[in-house]
Amino acid sequence: MSKVAKAESLLFVTGKLAEKSLHQTLQQIQADIKTPSFKYRVEQIGVSVAALMTPEMIARRLKNTGDAQKMILPGLCQGDLSLLHRQFGIPAERGPEDLKDLPQYFGQGGKAPDLSQYAVKIFAEIVDAPDLSVLQIKEKASRFVAQGANVIDLGCLPNKPFNHLADAIKALKEAGFEVSVDSMNPEELLLAGKSGADYLLSLTEKTLWIADAVESMPVLIPAKPGHLPSLYRAIEACVKKGRAFIADPILDPIHFGFADSIVRYNRLRKKYPDIQIMMGVGNVTELTDADTTGINAILFGLISEMNINAVLATSVSPHAVNAIAEADMARRVMYRAKQDNRLPRGYTTGLNGLHDRKPFPYTASEISAMAVQIKDPSFRIMVSEAGVHVFNRHGQQLDVDPFRFYPGLQVENDASHAFYLGVELARAQIAHQLGKRYVQDEELQWGVSGKADKKAKTAHREASIKEKRNKNK
């Protein structure tokens, strides 16, 4: 439910191009019976592009706020908003980056969803730990923790000596990491436990004796693949001793028992509603040639429904390079949706890598209506379902192929501008082809994989100016 108070009076500050569209959007919001009633006024302060506003500019141009109780600014407005609060005496907030997202903004009371909590612990496995130095293990562990891992798992390799296992555990513990060790070799597990590992993967009913010799928490698996009775016996042995443990019936790859393994997890949870359960997701994320964002979303939906407490995640294959970060995002979204008793929609775009739910907020006709208002030579680029739009005061073009724009752009004598347009039009074309949201001067958003470089946007212009100066000399 929206947290906007009944009949609250709001002031929306905007620019020339967005004014008409803002009025239309606000009228649609007010017509929705699910939205609490509010009064509003739109103040257009004379700048063409709303995103170019600054608090200082608004403070100079805005004459008064009337009876408004809150000021809503464009989401891309940069700067310290406390200046406006001090001058006008009412709170100033940024709305969504695009005004067409205002309905969702009101639905959340103007606040971003709280994704700070989760219920699943992520074990991030370093699968090649025996082949890495202690320093390399620490560096990889730091990257995994930065992506959201809670526990660093050292994966041991069959018939491969791990002579520095104890040193690696000690180094990770001294660095403040929780550590688990995954091995089928009892001697390695025993050494790991005595060296201070917090968890041991993976013990069976036949190797459960190791847990009696160390303080590490055991992660139990079936003695034979898919054999639940042996896992049940190991669980009962730990319960009888009052020993804390985690159980893992093992998730199998697709076409090699995947569906049956999901059933095993469900059976285990129904039989033991209160125990801790782990799911190793790497057998699906790593061994399926598909984008891992969607795979993680589905798996963590299952994990949330079955109240699974931990996952063992890997990041080995190049296509799974962000699998741990995606797992972190997925666990937060599923936790929040479960708490809210809602579908996992509308919380974040962090798992929308290739497509967006609302890629084209403006229709071709709406963009054309804005284009005719342009009175300066600067090019604007927007994307609709019809294609890529490029316009300035000299006219507008629409096409799905940016190469066709070149004759009409007339930038053959301005290398910097041509370079800029080439980059922006390429982004716009990709956005149109994939169905992604495009905002001029902003990088495309790729979910948790996006890494924007704000400084790069002006570097080409600075380089061009320097080049021209050198030529003139």
The separation between CA 232 and the C-alpha centre of its own chain, rounded to angstroms, equals 37
Cα–Cα nearest to 245, from 285, 207, 301? 207
CA distances to 29, 280, 403 from 24, rounded to whole Å, are 9, 49, 34
Cα–Cα nearest to 327, from 113, 112, 114, 119? 119
Arithmetic mean of pLDDT, 353-370: 93
Rounded Cα gap, residues 431 and 429, in angstroms: 5
Q: Quote the pLDDT of residue 50.
A: 79
Arithmetic mean of pLDDT, 421-449: 94
Q: Report whether 95 contacts 20 (CB < 8 A).
A: no
pTM above 0.85, yes or no: no
Q: Quote the pLDDT of residue 1.
A: 34
Residue whose token pair is 């091995």? 183
Per residue in 163-210, pLDDT tens? 999 999 999 999 999 999 999 999 999 999 999 999 999 999 999 999
Q: Report whether 144 contacts 315 (CB < 8 A).
A: yes
Per residue in 3-42, pLDDT tens? 444 568 999 999 888 888 899 889 988 888 777 788 999 9
CA distances to 363, 369, 396, 401, 443 from 389, rounded to whole Å, are 11, 12, 7, 11, 17
Arithmetic mean of pLDDT, 62-73: 92
- Residues of the chain with pLDDT > 90, as a percent, come to 76
Highest mean pLDDT, choosing among 21-25, 51-55, 214-218: 214-218
- Residues of the chain with pLDDT > 70, as a percent, come to 93
Q: Quote the pLDDT of residue 33.
A: 78
Arithmetic mean of pLDDT, 114-125: 96
Q: Quote the pLDDT of residue 28.
A: 87
Arithmetic mean of pLDDT, 241-257: 97
Of the CATH numbers 3.40.50.10140, 3.40.720.10, 3.20.20.70, 3.40.190.10, which one belongs to the domain with range 121-340?
3.20.20.70
Categorize the per-residue pLDDT at 47 as very low, low, confident or very high, splitting at 50, 70 and 90.
Answer: confident
Q: Where are the domains of the chain?
A: 8-107, 121-340, 364-471
Arithmetic mean of pLDDT, 224-228: 95
Phi, psi of 114 (to 5 degrees): -80, 105
The domain defined by 8-107 folds into Rossmann fold (3.40.50)
Cα–Cα nearest to 121, from 148, 157, 82, 83? 148
Q: Report whether 221 contacts 228 (CB < 8 A).
A: no
Q: Quote the pLDDT of residue 464.
A: 53
Categorize the per-residue pLDDT at 468 as very low, low, confident or very high, splitting at 50, 70 and 90.
Answer: low
| CA-based end-to-end distance of the chain | 65
Higher pLDDT, 128 or 50: 128
